[in-house]
Amino acid sequence: MAQGLLEQTLATLLPADCLLCAEPLPWRQNGSVCLPCWDRLPWSPGLRRRTTVASSRALEAVTWAADYDGPVRRLIQALKFEGADQLGRHLGESAARQMGPLLGLGTGPRPGALFPFPDLVVPVPLHWWRRLLRGYNQAGLLAAPIARATGLPLMTDLLRRPRAGRRQTGLSRGERLRSLSGSYRAEGPALRGATVLLVDDVVTTGATLEACARELRRAGAMAVFGFALARTPRRGSAVVAAPRGRRRGATNATPARTRTGS
């Protein structure tokens, strides 16, 4: 409530333009995005399960709320590279709404759930130097409202990134996994026998989530499921229809897709 009042006050005293349409922002907005633009965001939830061919992988499945394209891509870039940390809460809340029934989030019955209910939520960590430069971990900002929506504990101290590693842009999945070897470290009694919901902003090849999942499993986690705000679209993935629901503000899920393969 206090945060919402602060946002309204700042919007009145320091007017700005919408990140998407560049029109002046009214006091009612979602993290520097006007409500009409927010309502038009192209959410397209999906899920990719681990296949038998990939049975050696530590990550059971990956879910995402949108494709990393268009306005969603623009907002994620603003969140990561332009200091727009206020977007984290709004994007995380929307992602939780989009994926809720598909993942069986919440405390009620879970008839549409596609994997076991997790025990805790863990964000993908940043190396300390990058976090210092950015001022925050965007995955942590996204994970907080997801944890609130599920009623699960948000555990930010179970997984660390002690080694920075090289930039992942342009690398294949195998190259990314090799470059990430030894980059993450997990520890803590809360992981023993736990099912973990691992949250990140974007999934491309899945190498980062897989590297984190391996470390979480090594530290005692029973299962790890990935939850990304957006997924870089790929051609040739098998798509299986999943139950559809209503738009933003409804109790059911919005369009969802399940995909096989990796």
**177 and 65 in a common domain:** yes
**134 and 160 in a common domain:** yes
- Half-sphere exposure at residue 23, Cβ-oriented, CA atoms within 13 angstroms: 9
Beta strands at 120-123 and 159-160: parallel, antiparallel or unpaired:
unpaired
Q: Is the backbone of residue 115 left (phi > 0), alpha (psi -120 to 50) or beta?
A: beta
**92 and 24 in a common domain:** no
**49 and 8 in a common domain:** no
Containing structural domain, residue 6: 1-40
**56 and 1 in a common domain:** no
Tally the domains of the chain.
Answer: 2
10-residue mean pLDDT profile of the chain (262 residues): values are 62 74 81 92 90 68 95 97 95 92 59 74 95 95 94 96 74 70 91 97 93 96 96 62 38 38 38
pLDDT recorded at residue 5: 66
**16 and 145 in a common domain:** no
pLDDT recorded at residue 38: 95
CATH code for position 78:
3.40.50
**174 and 121 in a common domain:** yes
**116 and 28 in a common domain:** no
**Cα dist from 180 to 65, 78, 163, whole Å:** 25, 25, 9
**58 and 26 in a common domain:** no
**30 and 55 in a common domain:** no
